[in-house]
Amino acid sequence: MDDLRLSLRLLRAFMVAVDSGSITGAATMLNVAPSAVAAAIDRVEAEFGAALVVRARARGITATPAGRALAARIRPLIEDYSSVMKEGYALGLGLQGTLHIGYYAPVAPAFLPRILQEMANDNPDLRFNLRECDNITAQSGLLDGALDVALFAGDEVLAGVETRPLLDLPPYVLAPRGHAICQRERPEISDLKDVPLVLLDLPVAGAYVRGLLRTAGIVPHIVATASSVEMVRSLVGAGMGLAVLNMRPRTSVSYGGDPLVAVPLAAGTPLHLVSGRAEGAPRRLVQAFQDRLHGWFGLAEAQDLITR
């Protein structure tokens, strides 16, 4: 098929005429002139090269077997079109459907569930799909339509992604309770020289910590790497070593039940936490989520994610 030569409008007029058995009746139902319905029937018959209706006096029509079969095939097509249009309008006008969220922020579970639950309470037809991903994968998901919105850290922003700042995250040292470094109010990065370290080995976080140490002239003594914050925290709690992190959860105990202490570093460029979406006008659901997200980060409660 080279092109779509029959519009849905013409097909619908033909189907309604067959169903009603009357050109004037179909015209009344469609709120068009009878001549428009008659012209639609002529176009459909000409396109398929077959007689699809038998015209009678007083504008009555009777569908041929071929005409009835064609009308039956058109009906689900029109119904599917109507369904697609309703869903499309819902995307732009209502808080319903599924919101696809990508997040890099290592401790997004510390704040994201509460925000989503508040949205769900107000909009029971909402569904959420959450995907943990790295910085670049999150942005790529925005550009290819797999994600509606993403949370990520770092300054590398791909073309076509629009970001809004959430929070600046200065570095801190995570230590088991009782460690000597906990006695220092604001330790220097140089204090980590020759100290066993546990590294959060994620694309942005790992490069960030290595950069801090390199700037201070430190060759890191890394005894373990992990790809999740909770594993890093548990390794630190078990006494494996110290860790340099940026965002902290709302608990001072590891999964292993060990008490932990977060000690702010005296210096270090912060990581920048942002929300992002593809450029262009967002659907209402995306805008509503971002507004709630940024509203929460404007509260004093959000400052608990920072070690000062």
Collapsing DSSP to helix, strand or coil, 77 comes out as helix
Residue 225 CB: number of other CB atoms within 10 A? 15
This prediction has a pTM of: 0.67
The DSSP bridge pattern shows strands 53-55 and 61-63 to be antiparallel
- Mark the ranges of the chain whose per-residue pLDDT is less than 50: 1
User: What's 134's DSSP letter?
Assistant: -
The DSSP bridge pattern shows strands 271-278 and 149-153 to be antiparallel
Residue 114 CB: number of other CB atoms within 10 A? 11
Cβ atoms 219, 275 nearer than 8 A = no
CA–CA separation, 162 vs 142, rounded Å? 10
The DSSP bridge pattern shows strands 243-245 and 149-153 to be unpaired
From residue 129, how far is each of 89, 101, 102, 146, 290 by CA, in Å? 21, 6, 8, 10, 15
pLDDT, tens digit, for every residue of 150-185? 999 877 899 999 999 999 999 999 999 999 999 888
**With the C-alpha atoms ordered 113, 270, 250, 230, is the resulting torsion angle positive or negative?**
positive
Q: Which domains does the chain have, with CATH numbers?
A: 8-92 (1.10.10.10), 97-168+271-304 (3.40.190.10), 171-264 (3.40.190.10)
Task: Give me the pLDDT at residue 185, please.
Answer: 81
Q: Which two tokens stand for residue 105?
A: 């922020």
> What b/e sequence results for 32-65 when a residue is b if at least 16 CB atoms lie within 10 Å of its CB, and e otherwise?
bebeebbebbebbbeeeeeebbeeeeebebebee
Cβ atoms 234, 251 nearer than 8 A = no
CA–CA separation, 214 vs 96, rounded Å? 48
**Residue ranges of the alpha helices (H) in 133-283?**
135-143, 203-215, 229-237
Task: Give me the pLDDT at residue 1, please.
Answer: 44
Task: Give me the pLDDT at residue 208, please.
Answer: 92
Task: Give me the pLDDT at residue 269, please.
Answer: 87
Task: Give me the pLDDT at residue 50, please.
Answer: 87
Task: Give me the pLDDT at residue 139, please.
Answer: 93
Task: Give me the pLDDT at residue 268, please.
Answer: 85
